[in-house]
Chains A and B, each alone.
Chain A
Amino acid sequence: MNKIDVAVIDYGIGNLLSVRRSLEHCGATVAVTSDPAEILAAPRVILPGVGAFVDGMKELRQRKLDVVVQEVAARGISLLGICLGMQMLLTESEEFGLTSGLGLISGKVIPIPATTVVGESQKIPHIGWSSLVVPSHGKNWSGTVLENIAPDEAVYFVHSFMASPSSDEDRIADCIYGGAAISAVIGNKNIIGCQFHPEKSGKVGLKVLQSFLAT
């Protein structure tokens, strides 16, 4: 078997082909797998996902992959959660009642506000390209997966719920929707989450994946 650069966790959810193709485009050898041994042997792991939080956690638990992801995190292996995969890194979600997440980053998943900051109703889900910005507490992106990204470069989002980390320290980048800040990238040590889809975000997204492959 070829030495792999990254394992993409297959738990029956999401467009895994696009994740695979984008990583291969970056030159990586990719394993799309649900095998715990293969996941734990990889130098980097991606937890993808789209859809509802409760379904995602259920599929992970059914395959006993929730504990595998927690083990990946505990061993210090680089872990990237994408979209729902990012939200599941958090403590819990309010989507369809309160559901426990993987608890790897302290915080909650909450609905995107139904109105803008000036009180106008806004479309949910948030679908489309939004610019990445440095959060108001102002940490720069060097040493993160965004180190080759300039603020205001745009990436593709599609989501109705958003991550709200307990600590501002874990907020790496935001995007602005309806005038309010939404967590776009969160991180704590070896654990990173992107609310946007780097595999669907053109050349900017590929740069993010390239930086992740360099961790």
Chain B
Amino acid sequence: MGNIRLIGRLDIKGPNLIKGIRLEGLRVIGEPNEYALKYYEQGVDELIYMDSVASLYGRNNLRDIVENAAKNVFVPLTVGGGIRSLDDVTDLLRCGADKVAVNTAAVANPKLISDIARRFGSQCMVLSIEAKQIGNDRWEVYTDNGRERTGIDVIEWAKKGVAAGAGEILLTSVDREGTRKGFDVALAKAVTQEVAVPVILSGGMGKVEDVVDAVRTGGADAIAMADILHYGRATIGDVRDTARGVGIGVRNYE
């Protein structure tokens, strides 16, 4: 396997970087680009921007923020939240995004996945899955930033999304998100066993050592970090050193 990726996740509301618990109770952290630049300097492998209220209002507000980031942050940028059409994707790619993460609109219209993959390539189409545990080794897909249940099984949806052309899966545990209780590695394992595309595990990183379980037990190809970085509990360098220390491949960064 290649090097795992250490990804900074920036949840945005309006002009602000925010952080919630289980995607709720959003608290303002600060100015998004200040944090983006800080993580870039620390050697972050990628950044994910999520418009946390976009689905609610039916549009993505991240154009300006992404355009600004593309001026001085030279790592891949993924943008999600409220993406509903090929035109939305075109628009965000023009602003400097490399990939889009789609959740709500893909659940409503799965054909959007194959349309995006065909037009822009699978590498551009990240299927964002918000998962809530509903039983032993069973998780349900949620939409609208963890607000709406769908009745769809996460594993089935992941397989369907990949078959339709998703090139990556951003897998967020709504139960763990913002709780610092550690990643839901059982969820990760259930998905990574079933799909061949890379899986980015998101939600719940409490300490740097959590990366080890995410990769070794969960089979994650990448982890998305928010709380742990935003509150300065660890740097990208700390996580990289910990991973390297146990023999997990990470990007060589000076």
Q: Contact residues of A with B, CB < 8 Å?
A: 15, 17-18, 21-22, 25, 50-52, 121-131, 152-154, 156, 158-159, 177-178, 197, 199-203, 205-206
The reply to whether A17 and B252 contact each other, CB–CB distance below 8 Å, is no
Interface presence of B115 (CB below 8 A): no
Residues of A within 8 A of B95 (CB): 17
Give the interface SS of chain B, mostly helix, strand, loop or mixed. loop
Binds A, one of B23-31, B101-109, B116-124, B146-154: B116-124
Q: Which A residues lie within 8 Å of B45 (CB)?
A: 128-129, 156
Question: Which residue of chain A has the shortest Cβ distance to B196 in the bound complex?
Answer: A123
Answer whether residue B96 sits at the interface, using C-beta atoms and an 8 A cutoff: yes
Of the four ranges (under 10, 10 to 19, 20 to 34, 35 or more), the interface on chain B belongs to: 35 or more
Q: Which chain B positions have C-beta within 8 A of A50? A: 120-121, 123-124
If A50-B123, A127-B123, A202-B40 touch, whether A22 touches B3 (CB-CB below 8 Å) is no
Residue of A130, A154, A202 near B74 (CB, 8 A) is A202
Chain A residues with Cβ under 8 A from B71's Cβ?
21, 25
Q: Does B75 contact A (CB under 8 A)?
A: yes
Other A-B pairs beyond A17-B95, A22-B74, A177-B2, 17, CB < 8 Å: A15-B93, A15-B97, A17-B94, A25-B72, A25-B74, A122-B1, A125-B123, A127-B2, A127-B221, A129-B45, A153-B254, A158-B123, A159-B123, A197-B76, A200-B74, A200-B75, A205-B74
Query: From B222, which residue of chain A is reached at the shortest CB distance?
Result: A128
Expressed in whole angstroms, the Cα–Cα distance for A87 and B92 within the complex equals: 25
A177 and B2 CA atoms in complex are apart in Å by 6
